[in-house]
Amino acid sequence: MTDVKTQIDETVKANDVVLYMKGTKEMPQCGFSSRVAGVLNYMGVEYTDVNVLADEEMRQGIKDYSDWPTVPQLYVKGEFVGGCDIITEMTLSGELDALFDENNVGYNKEAADKIREANA
């Protein structure tokens, strides 16, 4: 498990935004992963996706790494942000925009506003 922890640590620190998910950003394999990937894709965020279904050690390893029991898991600048419910809430409140702004992560502000308008 140490190798997986090291791999996760290197991945989240080497990339500005990382989404550990079931499936890929092009083909999510569960509704929760699809929702978070859909938000990031729609907002034009460049991110690294890691498919936990491709590796059982990674699937368990990411849960141990974050001490969070579910996938998907979003990391920004090496910090764990949350899973689907938290990312959804942050998107709708504008907190995700603020987090991206604070960390100089590029995204489409108009797209973020459209998500909020559609869910108002």
The pTM for the full model equals: 0.95
User: Pairing relation of β-strands 48-51 and 17-21?
Assistant: parallel
Per-residue pLDDT of the chain (120 residues; tens, 9 = 90+): 569 999 999 999 999 999 999 999 999 999 999 999 999 999 999 999 999 999 999 999 999 999 999 999 999 999 999 999 999 999 999 999 999 999 999 999 999 999 999 998
* pLDDT score of 1: 53
Contact 33, 22 (CB under 8 A): yes
* pLDDT score of 120: 86
Domain boundaries, the chain: 2-118
**Side-chain half-sphere CA neighbours of 22 within 13 A:** 13
CATH topology classification for 2-118: Glutaredoxin (3.40.30)
Between the alpha carbon of residue 6 and those of residues 21, 59, 104, the distances in Å are 18, 14, 25
